[in-house]
A and B are shown apart, each in its own frame.
Chain A
Amino acid sequence: MFPLPQKESRAPATCLGSATTQDVVSSYQDGLGRESPGKPDQKLPGLYGVGDPVSKFSSDSSCLSSRGRVIKWFWDSAEEGYRTYHMDEYDEVKNPDGIINLGTSENKLCFDLLSRRLSQSDMLRVEPSLLQYPDWRGHPFLREEVAKFLSYYCKSPAPLKPENVVVLNGCASLFSALATVLCEAGEAFLIPTPYYGAITQHVYLYGNVRLAYVYLDSEVTGLDSCPFQLTVEKLELALQGATSEGAKVKGLILINPQNPLGNVYSPEELQGFLGFAERHKLHVIVDEVYMLSVFEESLGYHSVLGLERLPDPQRTHVMWATSKDFGMSGLRFGTLYTENQEVATAVASLCRYHGLSGLLQSQMAQLLRDRDWINQVYLPENHSRLKAAHTYVSEELQALGVPFLRGGAGFFLWVDLRKFLRQGTFEEELLLWRRLLESKVLLSFGKAFECKEPGWFRLIFSDKTHRLRLGMQRLRQVLESKSQETEDVPPPTTPRTPVSSADEVAFAWSSPHLASFIILQVPVKPEMYQVS
């Protein structure tokens, strides 16, 4: 009946574009080494850029519409690493030579705690009424629990209201829905880079909304106190620049805690950014999905919902999901909190396409309600395991002489592998990424986060020790051989001279903004800092 495909007919189901998670490295740009990648549509270097998700698209013939071909290409570009990974996943017993995934931002440390909790009897009660069509905005019982939960954990000055809550099947859907209701097709959101690249797709697929980048530098200059620091001034310049390019900017996306940097914004910074948005009548979408994953207490995390006063509550929309904080990206549960009823209603109108089964709603309500388990069992254990894994990987990186941002929130380290590139280009970055993948360790390359500078990688540490160990070992092997190559063949136009570990200096700042230290190990570059 159906013509047999060319491939073997019972090929494993995972082979065709099946990889990836929500938090995947998605490089819609042609950073795949076919042509020089460059930045999308950027006329002036440095400060800003306006994304064109399909600037490098080239058509091929198929049954699909033009739009369909673009979507497929988009997806195809993003999937290479994960496709490869899923065809050769590491398994201690079945596939010890398989690929170690240090690229997907997922907390694999607490499945035991979660499985146990979700298998308890209160989770398994199934009322027939739950099997019927749900209230698409989310059952009232769930929205009440969400409001109480967020009030408590965000430390809101006043109790949050259930009517301001909308629930859907994850933050991807929230981005899509918000993009659709806040923007016309072709309009843009401002977003500081580096940022979690999958957002590009989420706002583009249905919403046809672009991103206008606020490029941040690793180099600390002027009033900056840390690398990749976002300031109101940078936002102003980027907004001006994007607007001059013809982009119609409708809003600003902030991710707090930051992905991939692993840092948090102070309340003063948040007020500053919200004030900027208010002045320009921009919506602010704050993604707080890692809110409870701040394992370094000294970072002092503050939710936007915890601020005494919001400059523009009608344009402030906060999202949160269980996928990261409760280590269950597979469960698909996300919430939006906004005082703007028009926005809440418009998003809720789309909920039927992003709905949650009644059963899941009931389970989520149970989970969120269980303050005792969360505070006494889950969070302490989760933070402790995250911290231990973070420490382990940090030490390994230090031993390797690899600089990185310390972070302290989330599951990732933002790692500086620039010195391992023969040249500071995105092609070289991709080559290194491929080399790592061939050596069976998957990281995420910086271009996928629209990082301005080639050579930055995101490394996930929220995994079991044996996998981390193996991953780091493989990383070491590649970097050591790369170091060797770099020393043997000095690149023609490298901005830096090759360094040896003896020249590296640990340099610590005490930031006026941040309670903790940021430790950044960098090669010697005399004009950049002082030797302490």
Chain B
Amino acid sequence: MCSIIPSVLEALTTVHRQHNAFSFKAFARDDEVMAGIAKAVKEKPVVLFMKGTPEMPQCGFSRASVQILGMQGVDPAKFAAFNVLEDQELRQGIKKFSDWPTIPQLYVDGEFVGGCDILMSMHQDGSLAKLLAEKKVVVEA
């Protein structure tokens, strides 16, 4: 299994900067926010809702999640991150949308996978590597 690929982690942060221009603040109504999130979770095959950015996470759990994705060799071109701290509508909306009370939240192929605890356990037991390989979202070795 590969160790952290620094360039992958670096590249993940570059991708992020292109993405967080999208703001949920423009939506006045709840259903518009939900519709916006429904789109966001499909933005890329791997979407992480986190506190802070991949380059500067604002929470240990968010940091750990980004590191795990980096270690798994997720293709930066297939990755998007949304910073919930920049956007209160998103921060509340994603918890409602996923029916999950905490951040970070990982979506793969538009489907909710879990938060940091689940990511860590999947990372350790090999099921995360399997999922990411199946969805073809990792950088070719």
Chain A bound to chain B: no
